[in-house]
Amino acid sequence: MSRSTINFETVRKIGLTLPGVEESTAYGSPALKVRGKLLACVPTHRSAEPGSLVVRVSLGDRAELLAAAPDVYYVTEHYLDYSAVLIRLSRATPGVLRDLLGMAHKFVTADLARRLPSRQRRKLA
């Protein structure tokens, strides 16, 4: 698969291989969620570049991604306060996308687990 063919369909196929991930929408755009929590979606805010994807990650991971590959990852002022990073799909590879969605999955499921009572947390582990 060449870089030019990366689109939300590619994101969807990779994301749905992760446990508990479902197709959904967010703000009227295609999205992937885990138990109702956003994992990734096509950004709707006008500050995002066309052909981008917004992906939930910790602020620390976002800083590392931005420092390592600013041509691939970016953030706009609108997204500064969100635990998310924008990725230019035209500059991504399936492997990069797989790793990023895996990182997002760990972040979102860890956040979900923290919100559950301890008895239910053990069931997730």
Instruction: Please say whether the beta carbons of 97 and 67 come within 8 A.
Output: no
Would you state the pLDDT for residue 117?
63
| pTM greater than 0.95 (yes/no) | no
CA torsion through residues 32, 36, 86, 84, sign: negative
Would you state the pLDDT for residue 118?
56
Would you state the pLDDT for residue 75?
98
Q: Extract the residue ranges of the chain whose pLDDT is less than 50.
A: 1-3, 121-125
Would you state the pLDDT for residue 115?
73
Would you state the pLDDT for residue 114?
79
Domain ranges of the chain: 3-116
SS3 84: strand
Question: CATH for 3-116?
Answer: 3.90.1150.30
Would you state the pLDDT for residue 86?
98
Distance of CA 47 to the CA centre of its chain: 17
